[in-house]
């Protein structure tokens, strides 16, 4: 249920949204207002529809019905999926692929972002031979170069070691500092509490609960959220 008192300066509003795959409903969102003026985490069980939700917000997929409206009009988004392939070329060439979509990006900007994500020393290394964490940083670097209003990050630290996770989390914070809002998915509840200000909890294709991080973790309002948090905390 929408809380009309929530003071969102920027938001996305979804109305009567249904997304299907092979006639199966993947997302069913009658009405939701999601803030895009803060770092927001989308959490929920495997198969709940979180990745589909990010693709929907990015415009990569279209709803079978319903509407998606941004408060400030059309936005520039950048989607970083969990598994992003690399071409057999250097890290620098791979990050430069964003120039296909925006020819105004120049070499100096690319070098600056390579420095920002900590990969300057590996710029000439084959991208497909980089570690999982280095490849993820490269994907985030591509997104930074797009200068998005909204960065959509799918499991940005999945399967990374603690040190690399810390580095990637810092890059996520830098999106916000550089004027890009962030919605990310994560199964790591401690990470969600470190990074996010707002929670969207999706279960069985529906937004079951949403709100500020603190109250969500201290006193979830729905049985679905309570069960999810209990199971995840036991798993940790």
| pLDDT tier at 2, thresholds 50, 70, 90 | very low
Burial class (CB in 10 A: 0-12, 13-18, 19+), 49: buried
Residue-wise pLDDT for 6-18, tens only, equals 678 889 999 999 9
Dihedral (CA of 17, 19, 25, 26) sign:
negative
pLDDT at 85: 80
Per-residue burial over 106-143, b = 16 or more CB atoms within 10 Å of its CB, e = otherwise: eeeebeebbebbbbeebbeeebeebeebbbbbbbbbbb
Dihedral (CA of 227, 230, 234, 235) sign:
positive
pLDDT at 59: 94
Least confident of 48-52, 185-189, 229-233: 229-233
Residue for token pair 């299907």: 20
**DSSP type of residue 121:** G
pLDDT at 6: 63
- Return the structure tokens found at 145: 């170069």
Residue length of the chain: 236
Q: Which residue has the higher pLDDT, 7 or 189?
A: 189
Q: Calculate the average pLDDT of the chain.
A: 91
| pLDDT tier at 5, thresholds 50, 70, 90 | very low
Write down the pTM of the prediction. 0.92
How far are the Cα atoms of 136, 142, 173, 212 from residue 101, in angstroms, in the given order? 20, 11, 25, 35
Looking at the domain that runs over 11-79+149-235, which CATH code has it been given? 3.40.50.300
What percent of the chain has pLDDT above 90?
77
pLDDT at 233: 59
Residue for token pair 């120049």: 106
What's the CA gap between 121 and 119, in Å, rounded? Answer: 5
Dihedral (CA of 30, 36, 40, 45) sign:
positive
What number is the average pLDDT over the span 100-109? 90
What number is the average pLDDT over the span 64-85? 89
| pLDDT tier at 235, thresholds 50, 70, 90 | low
């Amino acid at each position: 249920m929408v809380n009309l008192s929530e003071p969102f300066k920027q938001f996305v509003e979804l109305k009567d949204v249904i997304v299907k795959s092979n006639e199966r409903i993947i997302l069913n969102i009658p009405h939701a207002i999601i803030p895009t003026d803060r770092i927001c985490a989308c959490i929920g069980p495997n198969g709940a529809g979180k990745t589909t939700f990010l693709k929907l917000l990015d415009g990569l997929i279209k709803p079978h019905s319903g509407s998606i409206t941004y408060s400030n009009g059309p936005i520039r988004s950048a989607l970083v999926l969990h598994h992003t392939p690399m071409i057999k070329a250097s890290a620098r060439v791979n990050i430069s692929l964003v120039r296909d979509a925006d020819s105004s990006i120049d070499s100096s900007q690319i070098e600056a972002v390579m420095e920002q994500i900590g990969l300057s020393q590996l710029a000439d290394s084959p991208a497909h031979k980089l570690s999982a964490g280095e490849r993820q940083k490269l994907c985030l670097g591509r997104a930074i170069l797009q200068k998005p209003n909204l960065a959509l990050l799918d499991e940005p630290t999945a399967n990374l070691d603690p040190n690399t996770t810390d580095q990637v989390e810092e890059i996520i914070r830098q999106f916000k500092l550089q004027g890009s809002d962030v919605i990310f998915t994560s199964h790591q509840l401690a990470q969600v509490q470190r990074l996010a200000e707002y929670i969207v909890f999706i279960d069985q294709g529906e937004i079951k609960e949403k709100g500020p991080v603190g109250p969500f973790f201290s006193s979830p309002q729905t049985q679905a959220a309570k069960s999810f948090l209990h199971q995840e905390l036991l798993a940790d």
